[in-house]
Amino acid sequence: MSILFAIPNTETSSGLQWFLSDSPGEADPVAETDLSVIKASRTVLVASGRDVFSGRIETVARSEKQLRQIALFQLEDELAEPLSNLHAAIRTKAGGAENERRVDVVSHAAMSNWIDAIEASLGKSADNVQIIADTSLLLETEQASLFEGFETVLISNGINAYALDVGLADQMVPALLQSWDLTGYHLYSENQGLLSPDIATRAADVTSVTYPDFLADLLWNYEGLNLRQGAYRASEKVDLGFAQKWAGTLVLAAICACVWLGYMALTVNRLEAETDRLYQQSVTAYRQMFPDEGNVANPLARVTEKLRNTSAVSADVPLTTILSAYYTALSKVEGVELVSVSFSGTTGRLTSSLKFSSYQDRDKLKQVMDAAGLNIQLGGVAQEEGFLVGQAVIGGAS
C-alpha cells in the first residue's frame, strides 16, 4: 500500500509538487515524469487551508445537494465572497451533535485551478484524485496541535483548525492559544524559531518534521473531507473483470431497469393525460366565469392578469380558479413547497406560507410569477430546520 499526494507549488510546470509515501510519516519527492508508472492505493491533492473555510452547520438529514446549498446560506455571514462564487463540501456523517455537519467551503476558481493542475500531471488518471485541505486532516485528529512550517502554520484545538500565513503567525498563534486557553498541545516544527520560545515551552511535546512527512502521517491515519463533491465529483470507473464475473446479475439489473423505465414512461403518460384534463377544466371554468370573452388558450395568464390589474377580485370569482392559476405557477419552480394558503374574496388577496430550499428558488419563483403577469409580494424569510420559510401575497391592493 502506498499514498501518492501533491501540494501546490508555483515553481513546477503543473503547479504541483508530488510525493510518494510507503509508510506513515515518510514522504519522498516524485518527479512528474515518473507519475505514470506509480500505482498508489490513494491519490490526494492536499490543498492549503488558507484557501478553504471550515465551519459547521446544523440541519436535518437532506440530500447532498440540499445540504451544500443550506451550508452556504447558514455560513453566509462568515464568508468573504458572493455565494455564487463558492462551492461547499459536506461531511456525510455527523460529528458531535446528531444534526451537525462539518463543511469546507472553497471558491470555484480554486477548485478549477486544482483540477486543471491535476489533469496536467496525471491526464486521464485525474478523476481518481481527492482534494482535501490540510486543516481538514488536522481537524480529524481531534487533538490540540500546532505545526510551524516554512510556507504555512496550522493550528487546531481539536474542534476548530486554521491555516495561517507565516508572516502573521507570530501574532495570530499567541492570540488563538490565549482565546482557547490552550496548553499541552502537540507542536510539530519544520521551521524552528518561527514562533516565540514560549510557544514550545507550553507544548506537551515537540517533534521535528517536514511538511510533506507531516501530511504523510495524517493521510495514513485520517480520511479528511474530500472537496470533490457535486459538480466536481470524480467519475467512477468500470471494472470490466467485475462486469464479466457478474454478467448474469447485470443483465437482470438491466431488465429491471427497462421495466422501471417502462413504468416511468407510463406514469409520465398518465401525468400528461391528467395535465390535459386539468387544462380543459381550467378553460371550461374560465369560460363559465367570463362568458363574454369566449375560449382562451391560456387561462392561467388571463386570470393572473386580472389579479395583477385589479386592486380586488370580486367575491364571485371561484377560489378554485384563483388557486388553479397559483398552483400552475408554483409547479414550474422546483425547491418550493406550499405549506398553507388562505384567500379573501373581499380583498382578492391569496396569502400563502412557502418553504424554499434556497434563496435562488425564492428568486426564481418571483421571476415565474412576474412572467405570468401575477402580482406576487414576497415577504421576509426565516430559517427553520434547514429551510427558508416565508410568506407570499397575491392580488389585492399593491
Q: Per-residue pLDDT averaged across 232-247, rounded?
A: 54
* Mean of all residue pLDDT scores within the chain: 79
Cβ neighbours of 65 (radius 10 Å): 14
Nearest to 163 by CA among 363, 386, 7: 7
Provide the grid cell at 391: 410568506
pLDDT of residue 215: 97
Phi, psi (5° rounding) for residue 4? Answer: -105, 125
In the chain, the amino acid numbered 3 is I
Q: Per-residue pLDDT averaged across 346-369, rounded?
A: 80
Q: Give percent of the chain above pLDDT 70.
A: 70
What is the per-residue pLDDT across 77-88, written as a single tens digit (0 to 9) for each?
A: 888 888 889 999
Confidence of residue 51 (pLDDT cuts 50, 70, 90): very high
Question: CA dihedral defined by 321, 326, 332, 337, rounded to 10 degrees?
Answer: -130
Ramachandran bin of 71, using left for φ above 0, alpha for ψ from -120 to 50, beta for the remaining angles: alpha
Give Cα 251 distance to the centre of its chain: 35
Residue with grid cell 456523517, as numbered in its chain: 93
More confident: 54 or 330: 54
**Of 24-28, 52-56, 184-188, where does mean pLDDT reach its minimum?**
52-56
What is the per-residue pLDDT across 257-267, written as a single tens digit (0 to 9) for each?
A: 666 566 555 55
The CA-based angle 148-149-152, given to 5 degrees, is: 95
**Rounded to an integer, what distance in angstroms lies between the CA atom of residue 333 and that of residue 226?**
31
